Amino acid sequence: MLVLAASTGSLAFAWDAPGHRAITRIGIEQFREKVTDSGAGWMAEEDWSIQIADLATMPDRWRNIKSPFLAHLNNPDHYLDVEDLTELGLSLQTIEPLRHEFAAQLRLARDAHPGVGRQPNPKFDTAKTDAYPGFLPQAICENYAKLQSNFKTLRVLEKLNDPARKNEVQAVRMAVAMAMGSLSHFVGDCAQPLHTTRHHHGWVGENPNDYTTKKEIHAQIDAETLRKHNLGEDAIRARIKASPPDVDAPDPVNPWPAVIAHIERSHAQVEPLYQLEKSGDLWKAPGAAFISERLADGANFLGELYIAAWESSAPSDDDVAIFVKYDGFTPPPAPATSAPKQPR
Ligand SMILES: [Zn+2]
C-alpha cells in the first residue's frame, strides 16, 4: 500500500542554483554560436537565457513538497550510483537505455544476486526509490527527446508563419524553454562526480585510503567550492577557451552512448575528488581547476545536446500537414469590450 507520508529520500542536490544557472547559460551560448537560423533568434533575447537558467533549477525544487508520487518519479533521476551496477553484475555498457526496461533488468539482477546491493528500509522508503541505483542517463535522454519534439513543434509553427497563432508560438517557446532547462539540470547533475557514485555523501564501506566519511563533502562541491573560488560563467568560458573539453558530438537520433561517456568522465573523477578533499587542495588552485573542468564539461556537453536536438528537429512537409490536421486551430476570439455606459 502506498503510504502518503513524507518521503525521506536522501537530499542529493548537485550544484546549487548558481552552478546550474551558469552551466545553462554557457550551453545556450554555445548553441547560439552554432545555430544561427532565424528560427532560434527569439532565444537570443537575453531574458530567455536568464529564464531558461532559472528553469534549470526546477527539478531540485520539485522536492519542496513531500509527495511520494513526485519523489518516486523525480528523485532517482538525479543520480546513478555506478558501483551498485557492478555489484549486480551490470555495467554502464550493459544497462538498458529505456527506463522501464532498465527497471525490469534491475529486478532480474537483484533476484539473481539475493542479499546483494541496496536493501530498502521500508520505514523510510515511502517513495520506493531505495532499490534503484538511479535513472540519470535515462532522464537525460528522455529530456533530450522532449526538447527535440518541442523544437520541431516550434519550427512547424514558424513554417506556418500565421500571425493569428502568436499565442500558440509563445506557448511552445515556453515549452522549449522548460525542456532546455530540465535537460540542463540533469546534464549538470551528471557533471558533479558525486552524482555518479554511492560515495555521494562521504565515503562508504571499505576505506583503505581513509577518505572523508562526512556528509558535508556533497554541499562543499555543490556550492562552497564555487563561492570560495568565485567560479561562475566567466570561469567556465575561460576554461573552455583554454582547454576545450574532449566531448564527442552526440548522435542526434541516439544520444545514449554520448550520455554514458559523459557519466564515465564524471565517475572517473570521484576518487581524485576525494584525494583533493583529503589533501586540502580542494580549497586551493587544484580544487578551482577541478571544479571548473567539471562545470565546463557539463556546459560543453549541454551545448552539444542543444545543437543536436535542433539539427535533428527540422519538420518535413508531412509533419506540417499532420500538425495542421490535428491542431484544429481557430483564431482566439477578440476580448469582449463593454459598451460605454449612457449618461442618465
Ligand atoms: Zn539535481
What's the CA-to-centroid distance between 186 and ligand 1, angstroms?
Answer: 6
**Mean pLDDT score, 31-44:** 85
What's the CA-to-centroid distance between 136 and ligand 1, angstroms?
Answer: 9
Residue owning grid cell 574532449: 246
What are the boundaries of each domain within the chain? Answer: 17-203+211-324
The 3-state DSSP composition of the chain as helix, strand, coil percent (nearest 5) reads 60, 0, 35
Q: What is the pLDDT of residues 200-242, one digit of tens each?
A: 999 999 999 999 999 999 999 999 999 999 999 999 999 999 8
What's the CA-to-centroid distance between 339 and ligand 1, angstroms?
Answer: 53
CA distance 95 to 59: 24
Neighbours of ion ligand 1 (CB under 5 A): 14, 60, 78, 189
In three-state secondary structure terms, 113 is coil
What's the CA-to-centroid distance between 59 and ligand 1, angstroms?
Answer: 6
Query: CA 99, 249, 294, 91 torsion: positive or negative?
Result: positive
List the end-to-end C-alpha distance of the chain, in Å, as a whole number.
68
Say which residue, 132 or 7, is predicted with more confidence. 132
Angle between helices 256-267 and 136-160 (to 10 degrees): 140
> For a pLDDT cut of 90, what percent of the chain falls above it?
80
CA angle 16, 17, 21 (to 5 degrees): 130
Output b/e per residue, 65-92; b: 16+ Cβ within 10 A.
Answer: eebbeebbebbbbbbbbbbbbebbebeb
For residues 9 and 73, the answer to whether their CB atoms sit within 8 Å is: no
What's the CA-to-centroid distance between 332 and ligand 1, angstroms?
Answer: 39
- Beta-bridge partners for 200: 202
Q: What is the pLDDT of residues 258-301, one digit of tens each?
A: 999 999 999 999 999 999 999 999 999 999 999 999 999 999 99
Residue owning grid cell 537575453: 46
pTM: 0.92
Provide the pLDDT for residue 320. 97
For residues 21 and 53, the answer to whether their CB atoms sit within 8 Å is: yes
CA distance 291 to 287: 6
Name the pLDDT band for 4 (thresholds 50, 70, 90).
very low
For the 17-203+211-324 domain, the top CATH level (class) is mainly alpha
Provide the pLDDT for residue 340. 65
Pick the closest to residue 97 from 199, 201, 247, 250 (CA basis). 250
| 191: phi then psi, degrees, rounded to nearest 5 | -75, -15
What's the CA-to-centroid distance between 242 and ligand 1, angstroms?
Answer: 28
DSSP state for residue 220 in the 8-state scheme: I
Q: What is the pLDDT of residues 84-110, one digit of tens each?
A: 999 999 999 999 999 999 999 999 999
CB burial of residue 114 (10 Å; 0-12, 13-18, 19+):
exposed
Of 10-14, 87-91, 234-238, 304-308, which range is least confident? 10-14
Q: What is the mean pLDDT of the chain?
A: 91
Name the pLDDT band for 118 (thresholds 50, 70, 90).
confident
What's the CA-to-centroid distance between 17 and ligand 1, angstroms?
Answer: 10
In three-state secondary structure terms, 202 is strand
- Beta-bridge partners for 202: 200
